[in-house]
Chain A
């Protein structure tokens, strides 16, 4: 089995699309636009690491760790928008945890990126791992 990072990203974004509810979810190549005339909330999924777990003969199990991040402009976002951001965070978690991305490979949670404020901007993040078997 080979590993295609970008195909996996496409699968992840497709899995998240039903819960986006109008909020733009950027891929790892994009940047979330929270400039003053833009939206007040946004999201992004980012590849974090590819790490080996185990190997038997020429088959190696790896963890592909991603983060799902929601960003909020706390000064401009309305209460309804902040609620929508929190709802997206929870819904995305629900869409990804236990999701069988392919037969026998289920997504599980992991550390994401650091959550916190930069000025008035908040990032809330969780991580998730997609197991991948690579055959040499």
Chain B
């Protein structure tokens, strides 16, 4: 059978220390991956960056509107985090405050 996926080694390698400030509850620290992919939309009329935050769900229980502090900058969770693979990780769009 399959073993449960442990994402910890990935975050140890690629992650940055972040602080999660939920709208409800106390702050939590841990490792997450902030991705800043640039892309063009509307038939290449507009250049944008859509930052996403990928994090282990065992560490963070993020909800829309929560804040993550990364390198002293606050990022707001812009949508409902969606589960990745077996749910050991999740990903959401974030917007710099």
Contacts and interface: CB of A to CB of B under 8 A. Distances in A.
A71 B42 contact: yes
- Output the residue of B36, B49, B51, B78 with the most chain A CB within 10 A: B49
Interface string A34-53: 11100000101010000000
Interface stretch (A9-17, A96-104, A113-121): A113-121
Give the interface size bracket for A toward B. 20 to 34
B45 A121 contact: no
A69 B42 CA distance: 10
A32 B96 contact: no
A120 B46 CA distance: 12
Interface of A: 31-36, 42, 44, 46, 69, 71, 73, 75-76, 113, 118-121, 123
Nearest to B36: A36
Contacts, number: 52
Given A36-B51, A75-B78, A121 B95 contact: no
Given A119-B41, A121-B41, A33 B47 contact: yes
A76 B95 contact: yes
A46 B38 CA distance: 22
Given A75-B95, A118-B42, A119-B41, A35 B47 contact: yes
A76 B78 CA distance: 11
A48 to B, nearest CB: 11
> Secondary structure at chain A's binding surface: helix, strand, loop or mixed?
strand
A12 B72 CA distance: 45
30 contacts: A31-B40, A31-B44, A31-B46, A32-B46, A32-B47, A34-B47, A34-B48, A35-B47, A35-B48, A36-B36, A42-B46, A44-B45, A46-B45, A69-B42, A71-B45, A71-B46, A76-B95, A76-B96, A113-B42, A118-B42, A119-B41, A119-B50, A119-B93, A120-B50, A120-B78, A120-B93, A121-B41, A121-B46, A121-B48, A123-B45
